[in-house]
Amino acid sequence: MLAKRMSALNPYVPGEQPKDRPYIKLNANENPYPPAPEVAKAISEFVLSHPEKMALYPDPDSLSLHEEIAEMLNKTGGVLCRTVVTHEGAGGAISGNCQPSENDRIPFKVTPDMIYTGNGSDEVLSFVFYAFFDSDRPVVTPSFSYSFYPVYGGFYSIPLNKIDLKSDWSLDTEKMLEEANKTDSGTIFANPNAPTGIGLSREQVRQMLLKAPKDKAFVVDEAYVDFGGESCIPLLAEFKNLVIVRTFSKSLCGAGMRSGYLVANPELIQAVTTVKNSLNHFPMDAITQVAASAACKNAAYYAEKAKAVAEEREKFSAFLKAHGWNVLPSKTNFVFAEKQGVNGQEAYRKIKQDGILVRIFATPGIENYLRITIGTPEQMKALEKSMESL
């Protein structure tokens, strides 16, 4: 009964959501804090004061949301939390100031026609694969990156050319470029990367863009950039093939709202809009558009939360190191860590018994690593207590 293509699907498996007891969820990189109070206010105001609007289709172009996103990016430089590591190891100055430094300022104005929004960046990413990658050549991507990329590759029959990470778990940018040029291919990776947490500087990405095929999409997924990475938005004027993917799910405390977006040059935004209008032309609902707009107006709140998460990450990394764990240097809201002699499955099970969920991967090479989302100080205290005996 099923179409033949069904047998080729290999769906993404998200972090588990068991209901047998209340768990502390540190397995899906969600933000432990609620959205800004103004978001709830905007939603109630919309639903209570304008119930008639619920009967109408939302703005298919999401114009006012795109204006708010552009304004937030222009105001903040596209990053909410800046980390200045002043010495090796834990600590370093973390700034929750959402004012851009000289280094972060975007040297042009981001305009609403440079924004595309969809139902979470997962949906946006699927349209990006459809719009920019052909099945006649492999897309270059790191061997370890967001595990949805291979899922979409399979869905759209687009081959992926997975490039091994270097021994320090950073991207092998030279090898990626060599392969992209060899096959005249597009590129996609997360920056900072997942599940490693390691980020490239904007200048490192710029050096890649200078040498990568100019007429193939170069996609940078900035899901975690607000926790201490460097955004590539300032490079959009220089590189017409750059596509930046962002989400409200991590730093904007909105995983439940399903909202993600692209920042790119208008011609590329047009292409993705064409894909959307060929599938489901009303993808983001009216309530989410209102909620996301309210979030953009309150960047200072989210900057403070991103700072709290980044500070907690540094404290927790120091704890892990003091207990013999090897912790990769994270610029995200999670850490990726392993300890010699500790089996990943067993560690995961012991922590789960203590009421806390973390993420493990069955992928060979990382099966003993735990990916731990940074929660509130109280949640991390509970986790430290559980991990002390590992």
Ligand X SMILES: *Cc1c(COP(=O)(O)O)cnc(C)c1O
Interface residues with ligand X (CB under 6 A)?
A: 29, 120-122, 146, 190, 194, 221, 223, 247, 249-250, 255, 260
CA distance 162 to 157: 15
Q: Which lies closer to ligand X via its Cβ, residue 219 or residue 386?
A: 219
Q: Which lies closer to ligand X via its Cβ, residue 283 or residue 339?
A: 283
**Residue with the two structure tokens 């809009």:** 273
Q: Which lies closer to ligand X via its Cβ, residue 248 or residue 319?
A: 248
Cβ count near 304 (within 10 Å): 17
CA distance 314 to 330: 9
CB of 70 to ligand X, least distance (A): 18
Q: Which lies closer to ligand X via its Cβ, residue 78 or residue 386?
A: 78
CA distance 233 to 226: 13
Closest residue to ligand X, Cβ-based? 120
CB of 322 to ligand X, least distance (A): 28
Helix axes 377-387, 299-322, angle to 10 degrees: 20
CB of 264 to ligand X, least distance (A): 16
Token couple for 100: 């851009």
CA distance 244 to 54: 31
CA distance 245 to 260: 8
Q: Which lies closer to ligand X via its Cβ, residue 120 or residue 213?
A: 120
Q: Which lies closer to ligand X via its Cβ, residue 173 or residue 259?
A: 259
* Nearest alpha-carbon partner for 85 in 93, 77, 76: 93
CB of 249 to ligand X, least distance (A): 3
CB of 99 to ligand X, least distance (A): 25
CB of 224 to ligand X, least distance (A): 6
Is the separation of the CB atoms in 205 and 176 below 8 Å?
no
DSSP state of 326: E
